[in-house]
Amino acid sequence: MTGFFDLLKKRRSIRDYEEKDVPLDLVKEIIRESCLAPSSGNGQPWRFIIINNRDWIEKLSDESKKNILSFIEQNPDAPLKQYETVLRDKHFNVFYNAPCLVFIGGSKKTGSIQVDCTLAACYFMFSAQARGLGTCWIGLGTNIQNPEIRKQIGMPEDYRIVAPIIIGYPRTIPDTPERMDPHILKTVR
Amino acid sequence: MTGFFDLLKKRRSIRDYEEKDVPLDLVKEIIRESCLAPSSGNGQPWRFIIINNRDWIEKLSDESKKNILSFIEQNPDAPLKQYETVLRDKHFNVFYNAPCLVFIGGSKKTGSIQVDCTLAACYFMFSAQARGLGTCWIGLGTNIQNPEIRKQIGMPEDYRIVAPIIIGYPRTIPDTPERMDPHILKTVR
């Protein structure tokens, strides 16, 4: 199991990618492994959308930025305010110019959708890393609202984006950031 | 990375445990590795509570059953209704008589608490499995409401239980249940 502990300890969120594209078959293989995640009542409610096109990823970045900025204007006290300056930068791509983006989500009607898709996303990130790929969960990437855009990328009306994950070949792998000591509130023996 | 793929493919939710206790140091080591999970803005908001005592686990099972049954009485159309018969069985322990239970959760005020704690739980389950232990996420175990009980197990008032995870040495490892083919809604090339 040495391989696994190495994986666990070295996984990093990657925001700097090589130009190289990710073969679609590889993305699909990683998605297949993500589906091995446990889910509430084994419901497997996760649905995937693959965006393997840089122009489309930029378009989705613009759509995200527009919606978040409009939200910040209406809610100037929201924590998202901290991202305003960078979001106003035309050259900033919320998906860090990654070659590929995968949305993991599902129906809003499924009560466990957030937990189930987060588990699939965790599997996705490990499976990608084990193949030498890097990933990053883009919290700012869930704001795709334009109905026309949603339709074009195959997103059903009741689809909730839980995890927008970018994937590609890492150009650089940053050092592991400090982790706080585990915060154990109590041990009942 | 063979070790990892093996881990990924063979992980199962375990509901049948040996009598053997789990050493507390081992649980703490697994918790330390869970904290390597990514979190929103690297906030690391996860807080852990370890229940390494079978009497306490049974008490928490009774508390969970009581609260879910009361919820079902008030909401007879809720999906939880399907568990009513088993929940009324005095001998049924929602934590499957596991020797140890770990609550992963944190402050309700943290907007990303559900996603962050689910990622830590995913790391927890892999880390335990890599050490020959079994785990199961107990969805029915989040209903600990009694203020006195919450206080006794060190749960702050604003604490939201995201993942109640049981852990122990598996007596039997069931076969991997069928997985549906991945549901890819669209591939944009």
In this prediction, residue B5 has a pLDDT band, given cuts at 50, 70 and 90, of confident
A50 neighbors A27 (Cβ within 8 angstroms): yes
CA distance A165 to chain B (A): 13
In a domain, B7, yes or no: no
ipTM of the complex in this document: 0.96
Backbone angles phi, psi at B95, to 5 degrees: -100, 20
CB A15 within 8 A of CB A136: yes
Number of domains in chain B: 1
pLDDT tens string B159-185: 999 999 999 999 998 887 778 999 999
Report mean pLDDT in 10-residue bins for chain A, 189 residues: 80 95 97 96 96 97 97 94 95 97 98 97 96 96 97 98 98 86 97
pLDDT at A178: 79
Enter the tokens of residue A132.
């030498």
B157 located within any domain:
yes
pLDDT of residue A58: 97
**Separation in Å, CA of A12 to nearest CA in chain B:** 8
Query: How confident is the model at residue A176, as a pLDDT?
Result: 79
- Residues B23-73: pLDDT tens digits? 999 999 999 999 999 999 999 999 999 999 999 999 999 999 999 999 999
Identity of the residue numbered B35? C
Cα separation, A11 vs A32, in Å, equals: 20
Residue A47 burial class via C-beta count within 10 angstroms: exposed 0-12, middle 13-18, buried 19 and up: buried
Task: Quote the minimal CA–CA distance from B90 to chain A in Å.
Answer: 22
Question: Is B72 domain-assigned?
Answer: yes
- Cross-chain residue pair B28–A182, CB shorter than 8 Å: yes
Full 3-state SS string of B95-131: CCCCCEEEEEEEECCCCCHHHHHHHHHHHHHHHHHHC
Residues facing residue B106 across a β-bridge: B160
A23, part of any domain: yes
Cβ density class A131-158: b for 16+ within 10 Å, e for less: bebbbbbbbbbbbbeeeeebeebbbeee
Is position A74 within any domain? no
Residue at A157 is within a domain: yes
HSE, side-chain direction, 13 A CA sphere, residue A110 = 23
Euclidean distance between CA atoms A31 and A48, whole angstroms: 8
Q: Which residues of chain A are within 8 Å of residue B119 when distances are taken between CB atoms? A: 118, 121-122
- Which residues make beta-bridge pairs with B80? none
> Is B144 within the bounds of a domain?
yes
Task: State which H helix or E strand residue A159 sits in.
Answer: strand A159-168
DSSP A13: B
B154-158 contacts, C-beta under 8 A, 24 or more apart:
B154/A185, B154/A186, B154/A188, B154/B49, B155/A185, B155/A186, B155/B49, B155/B103, B156/A185, B156/B47, B156/B107, B158/B107, B158/B108, B158/B109
The alpha carbon of residue B137 and the mean position of all alpha carbons in its chain are separated, in whole angstroms, by: 3
A7 and B1 within 8 Å at the Cβ level: the answer is: yes
**Nearest CB to A118; choose among B48, B118, B184:** B118
pLDDT of residue A9: 87
Q: pLDDT at position B2, please? A: 58
pLDDT at A83: 94
- Contact assignment for A188 to B139 by CB distance below 8 Å: no
Rounded Cα distance between A137 and A125, Å, is 9
Q: Which residues, listed in sequence order, are joined to residue B159 by a DSSP beta bridge?
A: B107
Pick B85 or B6 by higher pLDDT. Answer: B85
Contacts of B52 in chain A (CB under 8 A): 187-189
User: Which residue would you say has higher pLDDT here, A177 or B148?
Assistant: B148
CA distance B122 to A115: 10
Domain contains A62: no
Domain that holds residue B88: 16-168
Q: Look at residue B9 and tell me whether its pLDDT is greater than 60.
A: yes
A143, amino acid identity: N
Whichever domain contains B127, its CATH number is: 3.40.109.10
Residue type, B180: M
- pLDDT tens-digit map of B76-125: 999 899 999 999 999 999 999 999 999 999 999 999 999 999 999 999 99
Q: What is the 3-state secondary structure (H, E, C) of A143-156?
A: CCCCHHHHHHCCCC
Yes or no: say if A107 and A160 are a contact pair by the CB < 8 Å rule.
yes
